[in-house]
Structure 1
């Protein structure tokens, strides 16, 4: 017995010894990865040994090395923009296995494995998912000739829209971005799959996304981005609040080697100079780890497309009729005032040109990012980290203050008036750390991300008119107006495992997770001179002109906690049928909980045709900004004949003033999403996806219009409420409220092909979005105001309705040709932007409609050296502009007796600032140099 058991022990020890010896004698799989067409080496390619879940990333020379035991394996070689290859490998004892791979460029983006939209452990391409996903490569972003991410996406993703705003305070410096025609706050932004914090600024001017809080995409250097995944489907059940329209996931570079991208350019008109340089370098760390560092600097010069001013300068001749004044006397009086004004204009050599800056604000931007991943020795886990710092400084102008505006201008300081400036300082920072790995088939992830955004307002070239008694002695012309900030900390833990073998299905993935988030919103007041009225009885306006500072009464430091849990199931029931179900519960300690769910499926009728669809409900929690923002500001309001400045107060939703109006507490916006689509490969080198959708949203949060003082009816109620609260200098009140319901219907189409040519290679992509939003049902009104047409419509007027429904292009179609011949390359992109409209809040005669326009981009590239590429290009090659504003019955001396209808603000606006299809800066040419080492 003893000998028998001793032999068994010896046998076991022998196996242990042989196993250890095999480990010691482990061999390498090594090789180089190159482009099948050009032969160029490809750094950053992922090489995975599927049986052991180990792998490597190719270095700057395209080389890789993976350490394994002798045996049979399968390599999975994948890289953005190339078709993934699966290669069997036999590793002998005593010598390495060399496997060189030539990767073939994939068909557009439809063959690329996606991360967003599914938590399955199964790798799926964008045509294999249950929901539509656009995969946009970094080289496609660079090929647009744009230098910031919002504009890059605007010209490669039809469902995405972003246009720069002008004369809109802080929104001049942060571009509102939308998906499928919804609001900036109804799309969720992820960075490396983790929730990205919102911006500090809330858009309260007359722009797209008025009243919303988006995410500052331009705080992320485009040089750091490897690719962008755009999930075009409701995903609140998977990712939480804000994902009503979809999700944008930015994946950062994670590869060794150095890439440099530099660009200079300017508008055809000679302004708007751009200089940009971005450097990314990836360091190889121990255990096949990687550290990727990016630095990017951007300068964007201001542009100006304003018209010549025709209004009053020194003497106000745009006056009303006096009591019992005859037509002839009225016209004569106005003409007399007009002649006086013209004489003073000539006498003072006052220029009527460039009285306004209508175009891009000047912006200087510096960003630094890191992205790291390090396998933990002795485990199947990795540590990862992503961090970023971004600094932006901008300057944009407001409306010119003319000498005749004596309540706003100190004549001793500015005898000819002044053009005030808003100077922004935007700081953005974030840090993500996490650990993920696999154990017993479970793929797990634990992470925490902290990030924040601050927006500081300074006002220059201005005055506080109530300090007129100081004359020129120590009278300030620059003011610190306050700072907004928003910070967010998000912790989450998740796990996923495929139970396909246990359940008898091809796959049965179960993913679960919990999250905790803490939000913090702050308003810091400006200096006293930026908001105080030092001469209340003088009739002079207090505060800094263009942007009165935040007052101590506006200061806030609000926090909230959010708790969430979710489950996500996905299963290949058969080789043809894929099902997905997800549910998520989130609890907000400031307004309550919400449950969201989703069902989705894809059925593959054949290799060339699949049908997919989904139904889900979603939600968007009111932001802390919408709950707690308050300010006193000068708002220019259309009266149907002119833009009139008014001191307007925005009051917190929980304030006594809002309660006196009968405004209920803010609740969540809720949505129901439906989508159905097809994916097809009618030919080997042709791919097609078509997805139709309907998004119903109830209780959308809006930023109300002005409830103004009056002497009767609702106006008297408003006056009594404001006076009772001590707001005697405020002309009108505004607040945030759940007020409207909308329905959005649309169609997304993506057709891609790479026809075989005798000479060179060609990729052709046709992508389109058709979209319509309408307001449905009744508009909710404040409970304590009369439901009359005059004041009731100010909560959500016809201009606001147009901003939600027709201010963004109803269609957007983009056709792209990308041709390459050895060292030469040509990219031609033709974009058609559909009709947009704007409505006047009071006068239908001032409504505008702007016809569709086609914008053509062209770039020519040449590979100077193996890793050095030069590109010369032109965006908006044909110098296309949107339709100009329509001007009728302009108030000239000959028409002083007629009613004026004018959208141009006395000639200063040639193009609409309320809505724009693609901007109005005209053509832009550029020179780009890119290198990789």
Structure 2
């Protein structure tokens, strides 16, 4: 018992973390040695092995950099780095190799620390004469700087390297500066890739600054190699989405931005689904929200506290809330579309999403406002990103503040049921006596109302030679409001207190969501060329539930109308130590990168009860607790922790110039369920320089989340009863609860997977790239909610009675390893970037074809997995099956064109969302919704070089998903059995299977500025 209390103690946990972190730091600092800056002799004595025939000089320099860990500084144009070179040397000193290279090419070099500066020799002077040559008198250097669209860039900074003073470009992009031949001009501008240009004999310069996103083709996630890989060169498929691309979607929430830029990612807002109205579930390659791992700056991001237990896609899952990250802070997003449990740990079955935060100086401002065509759903965003340079050695502090506000939308239909009485004729009379009834405005079905505020700080600063300290802090506060089902006067006295609400009431769930995280770490390089990184991140999510405009019917007239219903809390502490080194030069290989490391993680889950009136039943003849969401009870209270220890090794090597091999393995130990082991083999083979084939095979795992072990509550959920959606008090019990065991539900164990992928990558021209990747993912023992077990069943009723469960409870459910699935599909991405009429045109075609099938439903000796004649399993009916197989689109195809000419830009994007379906327990009431094409368009204009305004429309043609079948039938007859799917006409569109939402067109205006 002493150990348990210590684990739950904040002091005990902090002490353990400090001891571990201090021990790790001691090991690394001892190993590092912190050598003095390398001398010129030390650098020139480093060994080089080369066997190169007719390769570009730049390629040769890259090979030397990898082997010696020096950095070459040069102007490609000045030294003519595209010249072909042949050289063969084995374990030769760098000085000899440099002399052999530079002499015939008429170059000179200087050594400065670990840098080698290459320059063109001055005419008529070589060797020592160069060093003795008198300094030239500075001369005026003039030039013009433009961006990739040919637009002049104002305010660009130009300085002479290692000399005082500098200048900047005027409104026409023109500058003048005095410099000597051989001086290096350093050109920088926020949002653009920095350049260094060596002054030659020409005194008039014109050149283009590339957008910073040009660097974003280099991926971080998916490979721990020290050599940068592009998304075309990587052995597994990775999407790289720049902040510019995210902004161009016209969306203001990260999940929606990714939805319209990554073909295999789907996230849609849910409605009338309790907490899931406020946190959007997301899916990668058609799998669950908890089967994709989210990283921020390469470090594990915590899950939400919310458990999706209502009737939505992702039911039974615990995902990660990407909308808790301010959009204004994001530099890029990397989506790894392949199993990566062996590299990053649990949850990475479908892949990994890595959010890279901004880390640069300067000021960026974002503003957005818009609303739906229907006149509701107004949204507003304001974001400010400010970066500061710290010191002279590359330190930077980047800060973000963001505010977002979203008004609700309502797409409810006309209510056609009775209001005051269950008898239709009597009800009509009562409606007349009560002054009529508005049948069109008594439900809110659509987006919830949300108010969001964010703060974020990202710091990196050198602290020692070859050592940097970095830290990231993030906070978000969100307040939401969503409606439930209307409670009508006819539901008195069991659910409605008429003295408080004579015309019934529409209850609201009000959320208050807090997210906090803090990351700190040190990274650097030892004297032995080992790269090391030690970090610790602590973060968590707290979800508070309040209910307003409601009553506790069992209290009668003394009932409150607003209730505090309790909190969910999840915190996670993760400490990592990582090492990597490239042994390629020692093995006579281009690369042989070895990465290894360890991780310690603590998970903490908490349920805090609400006020007594929110959950207690004071009169057993009436419904107890707050209507729409009964509060968490003291019996539901949870305060549990667990620990996870893991270690990994990852080896990646360019075995030849054509063959790349990656092998990874990971072992994890969980204090609450045991061990897991995962491995991966990935290959990429260059058939031609512009054509490669790649493939991977891996096994993976997802440990049961701590939420799935301990979550329990009683809530009002709408279950299918005899094919009709009916409110039911639903009890969710822990997996180890006596009720779950009496129903035969076994202890939770990990999900296991086997992933296969095979693809090709091609870059047939400078501005063309193509990737095609096929995949298959077999998952055993997927964890979902088993149920609904209905009290009316002869097995369930006695179990609930025997455990003294209130007669209010009609349904029970519990988490179980319930199904095995097979997911297979194809991803295609084609990108073409031609220059058209002196402007830049970006064309992208992206497609995902995906199918998930249930291979097996896992039964027990007490509950055999035998379907009835309609295909319903006792504990996993057809409605639940369709959520897994058919709830997400089976394909998504996007085609976009983005044209930029000087100050003007046009963007058009077509997105086709495939067919989805929702099944009923009665197959005759199944519904399907056909594929739809959504068109987004925008026009942008740079009113100043630094300021751009955009006017656009998302879903420009106001497309909606198919209506429910009853509304599509020519004759709307209540005797039509499909009427039961509409909840008396209130649901026009499905809430169980959604492709792109039900809000229709949206128009907006936005502004972005960089200074």
Does residue 522 (structure 1) correspond to residue 601 (structure 2)? The answer is: no
Deviation at 1:372, TM superposition (A): 0.7
**2:474 equivalent in structure 1:** 388
Q: Give a deviation string over 1:512-563, Cα, whole Å, max 9, x none.
A: 0000000000000011101100012xx1000000000000010001100000
SS in 1 for 2:635: helix
Equivalents in 2 of 1:625, 1:576: separation in Å? 46
Q: Give a deviation string over 1:653-688, Cα, whole Å, max 9, x none.
A: 011111121211100000000000001123332111
Q: Aligned to 1:814, which of 879, 885, 894? A: 894
User: Is contact 2:235–2:660 with CA below 8 Å preserved after alignment?
Assistant: yes
User: Is contact 2:144–2:152 with CA below 8 Å preserved after alignment?
Assistant: no
**1:686 equivalent in structure 2:** 768
Deviation at 1:899, TM superposition (A): 6.1
Deviation at 1:726, TM superposition (A): 1.1
Q: Give a deviation string over 1:37-67, Cα, whole Å, max 9, x none.
A: 33555999999x9xxxxxxxx999999xxxx
Cα distance 1:580–1:355, how it changes in 2: closer, same or farther (>3 A)? same
Q: Give a deviation string over 1:141-181, Cα, whole Å, max 9, x none.
A: 11111111000111111100000000000000001111000
Does residue 403 (structure 1) correspond to residue 505 (structure 2)? The answer is: no
Equivalents in 2 of 1:244, 1:42: separation in Å? 47
**1:463 equivalent in structure 2:** 551
Cα distance 1:22–1:828, how it changes in 2: closer, same or farther (>3 A)? closer
Cα distance 1:787–1:505, how it changes in 2: closer, same or farther (>3 A)? closer
**2:688 equivalent in structure 1:** 606
Cα distance 1:494–1:111, how it changes in 2: closer, same or farther (>3 A)? closer
Equivalents in 1 of 2:158, 2:236: separation in Å? 25
Does residue 178 (structure 1) correspond to residue 283 (structure 2)? The answer is: yes
Equivalents in 2 of 1:701, 1:793: separation in Å? 16
Does residue 417 (structure 1) correspond to residue 504 (structure 2)? The answer is: yes
Map 1:228-627 → 2, pairs under 5 A: 228-286=333-391, 287-316=393-422, 337-348=423-434, 349-377=436-464, 379-406=465-492, 407-439=494-526, 440-468=528-556, 471=557, 474-536=558-620, 539-627=621-709
SS in 1 for 2:996: coil
Equivalents in 2 of 1:843, 1:564: separation in Å? 47
Cα distance 1:140–1:787, how it changes in 2: closer, same or farther (>3 A)? closer
Deviation at 1:643, TM superposition (A): 2.1
User: Is contact 1:261–1:277 with CA below 8 Å preserved after alignment?
Assistant: yes
Q: Aligned to 1:906, which of 984, 987, 990? A: 984
Equivalents in 1 of 2:190, 2:587: separation in Å? 33
Cα distance 1:596–1:827, how it changes in 2: closer, same or farther (>3 A)? same
Cα distance 1:59–1:219, how it changes in 2: closer, same or farther (>3 A)? farther
How many positions carry a matched residue from both structures?
A: 860
Cα distance 1:787–1:491, how it changes in 2: closer, same or farther (>3 A)? closer
User: Is contact 2:216–2:240 with CA below 8 Å preserved after alignment?
Assistant: no
Equivalents in 2 of 1:258, 1:27: separation in Å? 33
Equivalents in 1 of 2:638, 2:555: separation in Å? 28
Deviation at 1:787, TM superposition (A): 6.1
Deviation at 1:907, TM superposition (A): 0.3
Aligned CA-pair RMSD: 3.3
Q: Give a deviation string over 1:364-419, Cα, whole Å, max 9, x none.
A: 00000000100114x11110001100000000000011111121111111111110
Q: Aligned to 1:38, which of 150, 153, 168? A: 150
User: Is contact 2:396–2:459 with CA below 8 Å preserved after alignment?
Assistant: yes
User: Is contact 1:60–1:257 with CA below 8 Å preserved after alignment?
Assistant: no
Deviation at 1:27, TM superposition (A): 13
Equivalents in 1 of 2:419, 2:209: separation in Å? 67
Equivalents in 1 of 2:548, 2:714: separation in Å? 18
Gap regions ≥5 residues in structure 2: 1-38, 43-109, 119-140, 162-166, 175-180
Map 1:913-932 → 2, pairs under 5 A: 913-932=991-1010
Equivalents in 2 of 1:837, 1:675: separation in Å? 27
Map 1:154-193 → 2, pairs under 5 A: 154-193=259-298
Q: Aligned to 1:123, which of 228, 231, 252? A: 228
Q: Give a deviation string over 1:716-774, Cα, whole Å, max 9, x none.
A: 33122111111132222110000100000010000011123233221100111000110
Cα distance 1:381–1:918, how it changes in 2: closer, same or farther (>3 A)? same
Deviation at 1:932, TM superposition (A): 1.0
User: Is contact 1:59–1:256 with CA below 8 Å preserved after alignment?
Assistant: no
User: Is contact 2:149–2:901 with CA below 8 Å preserved after alignment?
Assistant: no
User: Is contact 2:296–2:356 with CA below 8 Å preserved after alignment?
Assistant: yes
Q: Aligned to 2:759, which of 677, 683, 687? A: 677
**1:850 equivalent in structure 2:** 929
Q: Aligned to 1:757, which of 831, 836, 841? A: 836
Deviation at 1:708, TM superposition (A): 1.6
Map 1:622-661 → 2, pairs under 5 A: 622-661=704-743
Q: Give a deviation string over 1:855-913, Cα, whole Å, max 9, x none.
A: 000110010011111110000000000100011899x99867x8675211110011000
Deviation at 1:919, TM superposition (A): 0.4
Equivalents in 2 of 1:99, 1:241: separation in Å? 53
Cα distance 1:756–1:630, how it changes in 2: closer, same or farther (>3 A)? same
User: Is contact 2:150–2:901 with CA below 8 Å preserved after alignment?
Assistant: no
SS in 1 for 2:879: helix
Q: Aligned to 2:907, which of 827, 844, 853? A: 827
Cα distance 1:893–1:593, how it changes in 2: closer, same or farther (>3 A)? closer
Equivalents in 1 of 2:843, 2:40: separation in Å? 61
Cα distance 1:894–1:906, how it changes in 2: closer, same or farther (>3 A)? closer
Gap regions ≥5 residues in structure 1: 1-12, 50-57, 64-69, 317-336
Deviation at 1:80, TM superposition (A): 8.2
SS in 1 for 2:388: strand
User: Is contact 1:483–1:526 with CA below 8 Å preserved after alignment?
Assistant: yes
Does residue 776 (structure 1) correspond to residue 855 (structure 2)? The answer is: yes
Deviation at 1:442, TM superposition (A): 1.2
